[in-house]
Amino acid sequence: MKKILVWIEKNEWMLVVVSVGILLRIPSLFEPHWYGDEEIYLTIGQAINSGLKLYQQIHDNKPPLLYLMAALSNGELFWFKFCLMIWNTLAIVTMYKLARKLGFVKKKAIASAGIFMALTSLPFLEGNIANAEIFFLLPAMLAVIILWGKNISLKHIFVGGLFLGIGALFKMPILLEAGVWPLYWLIFEPKRWWSKSLILAAGVLMPIGLSCVYYWWEGSLKAYLVAAWAQNLPYLSSWKASGSGDGIFSLKGRLVVLIALLAPILGLGKRLGKNLTFYLTWFVIGLFSALLSGRPYPHYLVQIIPVLSLLVPELWIGEKYGRKAAVLAIVLAVITFNAYGFYNYPVIQYYQNFLEWTWGKKDRHNYFEWFDRQVNANYGVASLVSQISFPGDRLFVWGDQPSIYALSRRLPATKYTVKYHIKDFKAEGYSISEIANSLPRVIVSYGEEDSLPGLQSVLLSRYMLVAKISNAAVFRLYNSVAHGKD
């Protein structure tokens, strides 16, 4: 008992940081089904648990670990968010360990962990959402812990690469952070530069290669390579910041800016010192990675939170160059946020909405509606789908509301879960063919049936309208019965 009390006293401030992080995440456990990407992950998680082959029979365009996390949660939102809470708690502790490994005194390391906790837990940058960026932070930080140090062995370099490769199996942009190390070694540890860089690359590619072997063995290799890797390439620079045109907002422009920032950082490396050179190189490459698509989704910026958490304490604890480096990173982050028009989510109102609901000042309908006006209607649609179909029945939703699949626990009739995937991948012919051949018991349409050629004909000839709920029309196959009701 005495040892436990001594340990608690020794780590009391870290325990406070971790406890606050958990407290901030509790409202996320009770969110409704409202965030589209999360609903896709949950739907795919349910499909995996039902035996469907990822990428071949159920589709999305990310590597597999995020979907496996959703499958581990049994495709249920509460458990998905709970897994995220546990994962991020481990990441907060890892942030502290990383700061200590980099030479931070205890007070400064706790400050870094606190900044990391706040930025990854609050909804401002979608910290409350189970996106891939939140998940890949933990393996990415573990890689830094392993790779940092004097004259580290090739074995450690390989293991560090492994963790970066595991992070990439959540989402591809983290791969670019592997480029930080050859640049750093070139300035400070040029001895055996080629061998270290090649070993690092081998470690990074190992998990990805093993995933390819698995999907080859499963017969889904081509679908995996196309969906999780090749189809992501056209997204690069597919959007531009509002009103920005080309220039630095194009992919080439951002690459020029990256080089323009890296050149002086590396050129001044000896003067800045190992730590600041590493932080700034990591920050600039991480920011470039976050901007690969040019899209204004705030969770993309989650990638730079670990290095920002290391730099920000320099403002009040660091030396002259440390303070300047922190100011540079913060200014670049703020300029980027505004220039690209990144969305952000209200923080105070988020917690206020939760407290009003828990204290009985707001009913469930109004609590749900705060997240999105479509939420209550979607719950009504999903409830009706459950009533007029059997658990093993397939469902087709023509629209961008994958929550209908996740809530009703009905699997999609095609491998696509949302309308925009069908449109983006020009899969209209495939989709209507699947629908016409399988005739799912229920079809839910959010309008614009003409934009899927053949859908209106199938609905008119084989389906009856059961109900209209808000902007959704629910159709049931003629002569079908569910739960004993015609």
Instruction: Give CA–CA dist 242/273, Å, rounded.
Output: 38
Beta carbons within 10 angstroms of residue 191's beta carbon: 8
Contact predicate 140/174, CB 8 Å: yes
Q: 319 versus 359: which is more confidently predicted?
A: 359
In this predicted structure, the answer to whether residue 448 has a pLDDT above a threshold of 80 is yes
- What are the two backbone dihedrals, phi and then psi, of residue 402, each rounded to the nearest 5 degrees? -65, -10
**How would residue 154 be classed by pLDDT, with cut points 50, 70 and 90?**
very high
Q: 329 versus 479: which is more confidently predicted?
A: 329
> Which pLDDT score is estimated for 11?
82
Instruction: Give the tens place of pLDDT for each residue, 133-148.
Output: 999 999 999 999 999 9
> Which pLDDT score is estimated for 151?
83
Task: Give the mean pLDDT of 27-35.
Answer: 98
If we measure between CA atoms, which residue out of 85, 81, 277, 67 comes closest to residue 181? Answer: 277
Distance between the two ends of the chain, CA-based, in angstroms?
65
Q: 249 versus 352: which is more confidently predicted?
A: 352
In this predicted structure, the answer to whether residue 244 has a pLDDT above a threshold of 50 is no
In this predicted structure, the answer to whether residue 7 has a pLDDT above a threshold of 90 is no
Task: Give the mean pLDDT of 283-288.
Answer: 96
In this predicted structure, the answer to whether residue 253 has a pLDDT above a threshold of 90 is no
> Which pLDDT score is estimated for 80?
98
Instruction: Give the tens place of pLDDT for each residue, 155-208.
Output: 999 999 999 999 999 999 999 999 999 999 999 999 999 999 999 999 999 999
**How would residue 486 be classed by pLDDT, with cut points 50, 70 and 90?**
very low
**Burial level of 7, CB count in 10 A (0-12/13-18/19+)?**
exposed
In this predicted structure, the answer to whether residue 320 has a pLDDT above a threshold of 90 is no
**How would residue 35 be classed by pLDDT, with cut points 50, 70 and 90?**
very high
Task: Give the mean pLDDT of 76-91.
Answer: 98
> Which pLDDT score is estimated for 170?
97
Domain ranges of the chain: 239-341, 373-477
Contact predicate 92/113, CB 8 Å: yes
Instruction: Give CA–CA dist 241/316, Å, rounded.
Output: 33
Output the CA–CA distances (angstroms, integers) from residue 373 to 351, 353, 368, 467, 471, in the order listed: 18, 14, 8, 19, 11
In this predicted structure, the answer to whether residue 248 has a pLDDT above a threshold of 70 is no
Beta carbons within 10 angstroms of residue 459's beta carbon: 18
Task: State percent of the chain over pLDDT 70.
Answer: 95
**How would residue 482 be classed by pLDDT, with cut points 50, 70 and 90?**
low
**How would residue 293 be classed by pLDDT, with cut points 50, 70 and 90?**
confident
Task: State percent of the chain over pLDDT 90.
Answer: 84
Instruction: Give CA–CA dist 440/443, Å, rounded.
Output: 7
> Which pLDDT score is estimated for 207?
98
Task: Give the mean pLDDT of 234-243.
Answer: 50
Task: Give the mean pLDDT of 86-90.
Answer: 98
In this predicted structure, the answer to whether residue 265 has a pLDDT above a threshold of 50 is yes
Task: Give the mean pLDDT of 386-412.
Answer: 97
